[in-house]
Structure 1
């Protein structure tokens, strides 16, 4: 039976703005308060999805959240009609309104952690929605994320869904941005690689001093237990606290893996040699041959990696066994990074080609190609059980492009978020989107 890695890309929401909400994310903070272009952002994301589909890769779509999140503002004491809630929040607590309007759900690498059926004890694909409790604007996402994933992967014979972990600091969970799976083939048993920034209960693990470590060891272990993963099929590794303090807020800003390949920066991890040895041993036991590709600091600094998002790239397996690397335009704009990539693809190694995409709208808010996609390994039977409305096709691409053109603004500033009309525009757009994607009622305004 054939198996595939399906990339489900987040569709950028209508309120895409540069609120500067993510402390520790250099791009998010440095572009705060600039004018954004939601229409361009959504079309850039759709263009990437279409391009990968045209290359022969399996591609899906994950819907955005309802924003502004009026219910979240009501929980914080703002009352009255929806319009009054928005106007009062704008007057009394603009940062809370900005947070309630964040389109950060576009980065669906943070939506959940996914374990394929070949790894799990019950032979189903398991999903655990990430609580994202390090940042308020992201912590309000997981209820809708769970409903959307449930509508996409509804067949309980093949799919199992878990609620987000307790929303406390000890179980901070950022989803697939800190999770990678290695395997010889997608349908075979693999090794799941969980990267954490700190331990909540074990003081032996050092913590960063400047920026928060968002993923805890305890959260990673809890997800592995929920998914029924075996001890032989899991490796835990700690991020280097020093690189977190340089802006590496998730592991996918400093490393990316796929198949048998780990592409990583020399300074990405603590105790790197031990971690590589454990990965190599466990991958060998499931029939694979581990291929680490280390980028030396002498060629690319951590600062280069953060500014270019070299590692927030998509590493995709091609039919001939080689790898294709999907990078943002910012990599071509960094001389050291681009020189390194030219040498990498010309060396005869496993990464043979680099393709560049313009994702400026997402990049300016701190998310590159890898942030925009949630990877789900599925066999043929499981893929057939996925809601077909969310699988990218040429007709769906045309429908979504036209939908964006109809509903999205081409300019968004902080002042625009205070316009009650924006909520009506967003709800109208999302109501139509659920029909296009055949999701049913997944948004609070559709349910309540």
Structure 2
């Protein structure tokens, strides 16, 4: 069923109120700053119309925020604040004005500020330069994120594609007239946590051995710290591939590469370009080890030798130059892996590094007719879909997951859509990750 402004507004109102109630339960002040229903319908309809336009033969993409300019102090700016600039006279709020402004408002770095008008509905008061740290939940990063006011924000990301947010938190996403459920974030699932648990346990053991071998104080870490580090790298790979607009397929083995994968006559994946598994391929794991040791050494306390640090503690280490070097090294590692997807075929990786690329999925492709589409984090709420409606890249991945149950696959389409596939509970199950990587703690 397609969703249009009236239905979308009802859903936004319902979820917004739920988010306010959740904040109140958590001891935070509830925010209730939604425009009234008719005004919100006009606002969303205008954004939908501009999403279908082009400016200088380019699709229109932009972010806008419904907020008074007084929420943004005039003496601040990125990377730690927001630079708001006021027009000398407000501009009209309509799809044509938004289209003309869009080239000057880089989606990743700026927003258009609007506010209510008693007669005109809304008007544009100026621009806000936000910087790009807000994207770290999708692309990875350890810098502290600027928090937008928890007001009504709209992302226009492509034809018929709108994401409605409360500050940085996604409320609902509309894609081609259909809703993407932003609550089904597989990166927050228990099953994915367990998938990479063996590698995390190995890193934790290595860290405890390191702590016992040195004479200076080194803090402890928990499983959560390494999990965040693992997923940061994976998110970066996905994000870089999305931005490249060439698409790609990533076949991920959660542990070490199975022995048969290194064979030239593998019955499931034929790798055109296979890497020699030497020290260079271990760099990914070594960067994680170095990051763990840097954080725990910098935050070690001689008066509290068993101090346990969190990911948030690591984020606060912004003043350490070595942190920036490791941050750049991890980003370059993600860039390298993502670039391999530009060649036809799949990139095959493990928790410890890349195995090869140009992988062709082979074998019988007639044993699977449908997959399950997950509507929740753990894949318990499902609908069945015939695979004949998907492209060859997706279908081959589904067949591989059906044949090798431990593998996890991520398919990035040329249009930026992202889908994760994994054998779960007796069926190949798929999660839409197109927008969900924005969600989470900063």
TM-score, length-scaled by structure 1: 0.26
Question: Which of the two has greater strand per residue?
Answer: 2
